[in-house]
């Protein structure tokens, strides 16, 4: 049977894994940008962007979140060992792409964080929403599963070419580490940013109190860090927040 032959999505897929929830992604990874649309747009959150890498993962190159790219490399190595003919036929239709989920104006696609990848077999894309999947994808889905990836064939609207790092796996990555959302950096906005600006102004800085972490806020955070002999990175992490009396 050819790898691209369409078969019904098998029963019992995705044991033990769920799609990554938006709240999990926003809380642990932060928002890649302020606004989203239908098409891919650049990542603007500098702190998040530092985690984006471009690397070959075996049969193709991807741009995505560092830990996801690392995991995908391991998955591809196992596919190569177990199903070399599928490995050879695999291609990518994209990983990082900051946009809404197709057909939604509220749900941010997990491609926005570069933790999801769309795969092609022999250059052809599986059609979304028909309840069928390419045979080759069904055969490698268990390999993704054992590395904590969710297969999009299990979405309400079947999306068999799509694999994403599962909610459980993302939370495991960050257990014990400070959440990126606890760190404020250029591009962030909201009441926490306003608190930083107020604290800085109380120390004699001259920020516009707009709750937006722009270039001005970053420059004055750096001046504050220099004065306090902290690492001068313009990012308000735990130490800088503590020095400001915020932690
Ligand atoms: Zn996708």
The verdict on residue 239 lying in a domain is yes
CA of 62 to the centre of ligand 1 (A): 13
- Percentage of the chain beyond pLDDT 70 is 96
CA of 105 to the centre of ligand 1 (A): 16
Q: What is the pLDDT of residues 121-137, one digit of tens each?
A: 999 999 999 999 999 99
Q: What is the pLDDT of residue 109?
A: 96
Q: Do 168 and 199 have their domain in common? A: no
Distance CA 88, CA 140 (A): 13
CA of 59 to the centre of ligand 1 (A): 18
Q: Do 159 and 199 have their domain in common? A: no
Q: What is the pLDDT of residue 217?
A: 94
Q: What is the pLDDT of residue 123?
A: 95
- From the list 224, 219, 212, 220, the residue with the least C-alpha distance to 184 is 212
Q: Do 30 and 111 have their domain in common? A: yes
Q: What is the pLDDT of residues 56-113, one digit of tens each?
A: 999 999 999 999 999 999 999 999 999 999 999 999 999 999 999 988 888 899 999 9
Say yes or no to pLDDT of 179 above 70: no
CA of 2 to the centre of ligand 1 (A): 23
Residues written for the chain: 247
End-to-end alpha carbon distance in the chain? 60
Distance CA 95, CA 115 (A): 7
Q: By three-state DSSP, how is residue 230 classified?
A: coil
- The mean-pLDDT minimum among 6-10, 65-69, 235-239 falls in 235-239
Q: What is the pLDDT of residue 222?
A: 96
CA of 157 to the centre of ligand 1 (A): 12
What is the domain range of residue 65? 6-174
CATH of the domain at 193: 1.10.101.10
- The mean-pLDDT minimum among 30-34, 155-159, 167-171, 183-187 falls in 183-187
Q: Do 204 and 162 have their domain in common? A: no
Distance CA 55, CA 50 (A): 14
The verdict on residue 1 lying in a domain is no
How many domains is the chain built from? 2
Average pLDDT over the chain reads 92
Q: Do 102 and 142 have their domain in common? A: yes
Q: What is the pLDDT of residue 174?
A: 86
Say yes or no to pLDDT of 182 above 80: no
Cα 199–chain centre separation: 32
Work out the average pLDDT over 27-46: 94
- Residues in a beta bridge with 165: 149
CA of 184 to the centre of ligand 1 (A): 29
Q: What is the pLDDT of residue 104?
A: 86
């Amino acid at each position: 049977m050819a790898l691209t032959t369409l078969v019904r999505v098998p029963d019992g897929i995705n044991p033990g894994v769920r799609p990554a929830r938006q709240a999990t992604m926003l809380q642990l990874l932060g928002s890649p940008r302020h606004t989203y649309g239908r098409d891919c747009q650049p990542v603007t959150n500098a702190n998040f962007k530092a985690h984006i890498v471009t690397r070959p993962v075996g049969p193709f190159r991807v741009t995505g979140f560092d830990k996801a790219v690392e995991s995908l490399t391991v998955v591809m190595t196992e596919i190569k060992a177990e199903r070399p003919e599928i490995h050879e036929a695999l291609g990518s239709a994209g990983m990082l792409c900051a946009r809404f989920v197709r057909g939604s104006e509220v749900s941010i696609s997990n491609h926005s964080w570069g933790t999801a990848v769309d795969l092609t077999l022999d250059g052809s894309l599986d059609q979304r929403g028909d309840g069928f999947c390419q045979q080759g994808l069904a055969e490698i889905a268990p390999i993704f599963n054992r590395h904590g990836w969710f297969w999009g064939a299990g979405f309400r609207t079947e999306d068999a070419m799509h694999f994403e790092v599962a909610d459980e796996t993302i939370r495991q990555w960050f257990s014990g580490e400070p959440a990126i959302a606890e760190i404020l950096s250029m591009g962030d906005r909201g009441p926490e940013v306003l608190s930083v600006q107020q604290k800085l102004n109380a120390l004699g800085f001259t920020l516009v109190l707009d709750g937006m972490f722009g270039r001005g806020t970053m420059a004055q955070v750096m001046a504050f860090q220099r004065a306090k002999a902290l690492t001068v990175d313009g990012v308000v992490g735990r130490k800088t927040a503590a020095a400001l009396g915020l932690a």
